[in-house]
Structure 1
Amino acid sequence: MNEQYFSDYMSFDIVFKSKIGNITRKMIFPISYTEEDVRVELEKKQPELMIEDIFEAEYVLQLKA
């Protein structure tokens, strides 16, 4: 594989609190991000989100646009 055509990412499972219970969403961030980096980034962009927990899920290799 030619690395110039691919980007490395990590997917994270993010658990949000809601009125109907906890909701889990998978989100992709740069490979250098830790769980704490993801929390800071999300709280900066959407402070109203109630984040319960964050789990590193898996390595993701994506084609560059």
Structure 2
Amino acid sequence: MALRGRALALSAEYGDDRPALAVYLATLLLEATGHLADATPATLRDRFLGWIRPGRVAAPGTRLGA
């Protein structure tokens, strides 16, 4: 599966739960740093986390949509 296809599959799997997706991808990024030693930190960040669209953040003590 191409990189774009994997991103679409993960987006569909996680839906609106972007924080959980970001944690999952950050875990993969950490694991990849040992395998992709020649890549710069910025390149890895962009590759693993850069495609996640930003979301709204709820104010402390509130929930989105409430």
Same fold? TM cut 0.5:
no
| Larger strand proportion of the pair | 1
TM-score under structure 1 normalisation? 0.26
Question: Greater RCO between the two (CA within 8 Å, min separation 6)?
Answer: 1
